[in-house]
Structure 1
Amino acid sequence: MVRKNKIFIILISIVVIIGAFLIFYNTQNKSSQPPTISISEEEWDFGKIKEDERPVHIFTIKNTGREELVISRIRSSCGCAATMLSSDNIQPGKSAELKVTFNPTGYNGLVKKDVYIESNDPQLPKTKVTIIAEVEPIPSPKAFLSNSQWDLGLISQGDLPTFTFTIENKGELDLIIDKIDASEYIQYDTEIPLTILPGEKQEVTFTYNSSQHELGEVRESVRIYCNDPRRKVFSLRVNGYIKEKPAPTVSISPVGISFNLVNDSEGETIGKFILA
């Protein structure tokens, strides 16, 4: 009887030891396999695309580890690459989709943009994917302004300073300036709409009428609207300071009298005087 009890106790002890070992092994094995990020492609080539296309690619992000993968941040090297992630938290063995949409407006030729991914993967906390495209521009007008700021400086109330700048069309189609928004103090000498042919330039002159403007700082802008698909509105900043107009000066003429007196033969004084 005593012997049987000893055998039973020994068997129970073995089971407990084995159980404890298995629990310890599983715990150690799990802790040795933290979240691991795996991405379907490191880069994606869209090939040749038109400037007005919006190609999309979906990267698959998989968690091949044994703990939850948390995507803490996604950012692109350019606003032209928009991203959308289906889930920030990825369980072991599961995946999430990273949708990248490329906007090639304004680009020409080979373009490479990166999307950076940050996660709680201890081995690879930061990684990236790259999108590539060969952009073929579509014919369009391209507006370029010679200046973006008009500095009036210090002027007196009532002054009429002028400013001339150049609008150039570096595109392949006609550039049309269809609207100019300016304050009541700013006039311009150009008829709107204004058409500028490809490769040509047009000067525009503004006049600032400060006679009705209050004294002090000037902070305004002129907005120029056109049919350039890359940038439909341009701004010209206007800065300066208006001081009080100096009071008019009074001048008196003549400012002097010159006498030229002599005695004649009879002793009388005669002469002339000159106003100067």
Structure 2
Amino acid sequence: MKINPVRFFLYLLTALIICGTVKHSPLAAETGKTPRLVFEEDSHNFGDIYKGEKVSHWFAFTNAGTGDLVINSVKTSCGCTAAAPSQKSIPPGTGAEIEVTFKSDVFRGSIRKTVTVDTNDPEKPRYALTIEANVLEEVVAEPPTLWFNQIKLGQSVAKEVDIKSLTDLKLKITKVRSSSPVLEFRVRKKDGDGSPVLEVSTRKGASLGRFAGDVQVFTNSKRQPLLTIPFFGEIVSDVSVFPPKISYGVVRKGEEVTRQVLITIHTNDIKLEKFDLKPDFLGLHHVPDSNNYFHRLDIILGKDVPAGRLEGSLTIHTTSKDQPLLTVPIYGVIKEG
């Protein structure tokens, strides 16, 4: 009998697929026994909680199938939420729990977070749990953020922050601190109701440059003993340059790459005189605004530059007595091909 080679190949391929499936399938190894994950609930609302509180909920579930249920992983949608199963392998007809914990330190208002559970349940291998809460504040800062903007070198700028209790707590500030050496603090009582007022000032001797961070206000609130107030600002002289250095990273030879430098003039009578750029193969394009306060420099790394390590500088000449020369280092590596 003559055998059709095409038909024989299809028979052989089908047999190999069937054998491979039987050999490697865990379900077949269990002779048809499969797990089934059933949660008693898939969402929980904590209701009103106070900022700084840590709350937990246990999601109970059972294995309603005929094979062992395996919890492969439990993942949360953010670092503020943690989740862990009480056990990872659950026999048929038994149950376990997944503990979900939420930290409310940096939240306020309504929040919603998810937890994803991956199992060996063939019908629904991925299951989503949800937690919700409304985060209240017992202690608030008005304004909640301090924007100092740009401050001339040698000057001091002061801001006031009202520290208020949204409950009947007689609020007291016990300590104030910050990692930034730029700021100094004083606490006083507000005229009238006697609530605390935090005075935040920049030091006159602060160094040039941008500053940012958090003011940590410690209070007598048991619910919210720590209040965090972000702050941002910059100490400037006649001229400021950003970024303070130029990095091209690693560039393949033949590519053209452009980096931008932004120059701001803070004093009316100051002008830019000229620019020195090293090495010579770098290109420069100057774009001033109509008022001569803001300048953009395009520093161009051309296609024909030699391979090797790039080390150079941009020198900005100005009419400022305090800042006649401003130097911006330039770094990079040009690789062959």
- Give TM-score scaled by structure 1 length: 0.54
- Asked if 1:120 is matched to 2:117, the reply is no
Residues 179 and 97 from structure 1, CA distance in 2 versus in 1: closer, same or farther, beyond 3 angstroms?
same
Instruction: Evaluate the alpha carbon distance shift between residue 226 and residue 37 of structure 1 in structure 2; reply closer, same or farther with a 3 A threshold.
Output: same
Q: Which has the higher strand share?
A: 2
For residues 32-76 of structure 1, the C-alpha deviation after alignment (integer angstroms, 9 at most, x for no partner) is 44332234x22688999997896764614326233x432123246
Matched, 1:169 2:170: no
Q: How many aligned positions are there? A: 210
1:166 to 1:49, Cα distance in 2 relative to 1, 3 A: closer
Q: Tell me by how many angstroms 1:177 deviates.
A: 1.4
Alignment partner, residue 174 of structure 2 = 178
Larger RCO (CA within 8 A; separation ≥ 6): 1
TM-aligned CA distance change 1:221 to 1:96, over 3 Å: same
Partner amino acid for 2:226? Answer: K
2:231 matched residue in structure 1? 237
Q: Distance in 2 between matches of 1:34 and 1:132?
A: 32
Shift of 1:220: 4.4
Which of 205, 222, 235 is the equivalent residue of 2:215? 222
Shift of 1:158: 0.9
Asked if 1 retains the 8 angstrom alpha-carbon contact of 2:146 and 2:159, the reply is: no
Gaps of 5+ in 2: 1-26, 239-266, 268-319, 323-337
Matched, 1:143 2:137: no
Helix, strand or coil for the counterpart of 2:172?
Answer: strand
Unaligned runs of 5+ in 1: 1-26, 249-276
Q: Contact conserved, 2:172 with 2:196, CA < 8 A, in 1? A: no
Indicate conservation of the 8 Å contact 1:144/1:169, yes or no.
no
SS of structure 1 residue aligned to 2:207: coil
Provide the secondary structure at the position in 1 that maps to 2:187. coil
Question: Which aligned pairs between 1:11-160 and structure 2 lie closer than 5 A?
Answer: 32-39=32-39, 41-42=40-41, 57=58, 59-62=60-63, 64-66=65-67, 68-75=68-75, 83-91=83-91, 93=92, 95-100=94-99, 115-128=115-128, 141-153=138-150, 155-160=151-156
Q: Whose Rg is larger?
A: 1
Q: Is contact 1:196–1:202 with CA below 8 Å preserved after alignment? A: no
| Cα drift, residue 235 of structure 1 | 2.8
Q: Which amino acid aligns with 1:209?
A: R
- 8 Å CA contact 2:182–2:211 kept in 1: the answer is no
CA distance in structure 2 between the aligned counterparts of 1:78 and 1:197, rounded to whole angstroms: 43
Per the TM alignment, residue 201 of structure 1 is displaced from its structure 2 partner at its CA by 5.8
Residues 146 and 243 of structure 1, relative CA distance in 2, 3 Å threshold: same
Separation in 1, partners of 2:112, 2:321: 64
Q: Deviations over 1:125-176 (max 9, x none)?
A: 223556799x9x9xx94323313232331x3321112223332321221222
- 2: distance between equivalents of 1:114 and 1:101? 10
Could you tell me which amino acid in structure 1 is paired with residue 209 of structure 2? G
Q: Report the alpha carbon displacement of residue 94 of structure 1 after superposing the two structures with TM.
A: 6.0
Q: 1:219 is aligned with what amino acid?
A: A
CA–CA separation in structure 1 for the residues paired with 2:61 and 2:78: 21
Counterpart AA for 1:65? T
Find 1:188's aligned residue among 179, 185, 189.
Answer: 185
Q: Is the 8 A contact 1:143 1:167 kept in 2?
A: yes
Aligned-pair CA distance for 1:89: 3.0
Q: 1:240 Cα deviation (Å)?
A: 0.8
RMSD: 4.8
Shift of 1:112: 8.9
Which whole-Å CA distance do the structure 2 matches of 1:53 and 1:159 have between them?
A: 43
8 Å Cα contact 1:58/1:99 also seen in 2: yes
